[in-house]
Amino acid sequence: MTAAYVALEGGHVLEGRGRVPGTARGELVFTTAYTGYEESLTDPSYEEQVLTFSYPLIGNYGVREERFEDDQVHPRAVLAKELTEDVTDWLESEGVPAIDHLDTREIVTDIRDQGAMKCGIAVGDDVTEDDALEQLEACKAMSDHTDIGAQVSVEEPVVHGADNDGPNVALVDCGAKGSIIDSLLEREATVHVLPYDSDVADVEAVDPDVLFISNGPGDPANYEDAAALVETFVEDTPVAGICLGQQIVARALGGTTEKMTFGHRGVNQPVLDLESGRVVMTTQNHGYTVADPGDHLEVTQINVNDDTPEGIDGIEYDVITRQYHPEANPGPEDTLDFFDDVLAMVDGEPHRAVPADD
């Protein structure tokens, strides 16, 4: 059996079965999703992280490229109770180390008790615990990845749906999932995907009807360029955001953010709409949250489990953001109407916090 070691912050080392050789380091996190491993593994928000699957069998329905959210695997390494050959063959082709035959229940419990932590990974015929510990020693805290946006963003503007008849959306790509773009295209929007560090002139060049800040990895405090765009355009242009985008928008308008203990990662996070009293199930993947929305924004939705902000709307500005992923992929489709609400702001229409009951 190929040797495989996971060195955890604090010095504890786990041993498992090596499935894909290599060394890696990153922030150790977990997802509770039962399905959607293809979408999770290609989600740019997992950049610089080591992903643990809490569900015991990963790969039981194969690997299909049409489910990918991006053109590469983003976690630095993958941990599971059991991985199928379909998944390990895919990870090997991507050069992503993988380990299974681990007690993932213990790993998840440790993360819940101690928080997301640094870890080092070593897999191979000749590796030792010391190799994993060396990787751990070199691991940086997530907030120290000050230019992580460069690792997941487009380098040059890209236009999707140029012939569509709907609004012009400037999507600032901080690590956008493909299904966000697809959701806007399905509503006939023209989507201009812009680099995460775009300036005011870059946005003005596309004459947007909506400024949209995407999801992505890392600390929202490290996305100063995107926050500056929100500050500049919010008085005259509707602003929307998803996940990291919500945090960036809040910071830009006077709010504050904070790192969570272990974050929300899964497809069954319950969200309460404060006005309607309705609870919807959502897909989430984030380790930071809005601590205080500030004076220009109000919290309209909260997480049922811990009361963290899930939806934020503008008080005097046309702003609508969501901490969860309304596009799902994977997950429930309870909140797909978010994209209708975003585009409705272009016409000055009031948005619906949640879709109406049938």
Can you say which residues are annotated as belonging to the binding site for L-glutamine? 45, 216, 218, 244, 247, 285, 287-288
Active site residue 139: no
CB 170 within 8 A of CB 212: yes
The 10 Å Cβ neighbour count of residue 163 is 6
Distance (Å, whole) CA 311 – CA 335: 11
323 contact partners, CB below 8 Å, separation of at least 6: 243, 246, 247, 264, 284, 286, 289, 290, 303, 308, 309, 310, 311
224 contact partners, CB below 8 Å, separation of at least 6: none
The single-letter DSSP state of residue 357 is: P
Q: Encoding tokens for residue 344? A: 């409705």
Closest CA to 254 of 226, 229, 231: 231
Classified as helix, coil or strand, 123 is: strand
Alpha carbons within 13 angstroms on the beta-carbon side of residue 204 total 5
The 10 Å Cβ neighbour count of residue 41 is 27
Q: Residue 50 corresponds to which amino acid?
A: V
User: Pick the catalytic residue: 27, 243, 264, 310?
Assistant: 243
Active site residue 325: yes
CB 322 within 8 A of CB 338: yes
Residues annotated as binding site? 45, 216, 218, 244, 247, 285, 287-288
Burial class (CB within 10 angstroms; exposed 0-12, middle 13-18, buried 19+) of 57: middle
Active site residue 351: no
Radius of gyration, alpha carbons of the chain: 20
User: Pick the catalytic residue: 264, 296, 325, 351?
Assistant: 325
Distance (Å, whole) CA 149 – CA 218: 8
Classified as helix, coil or strand, 85 is: helix
Which residues are identified as catalytic?
A: 243, 325, 327
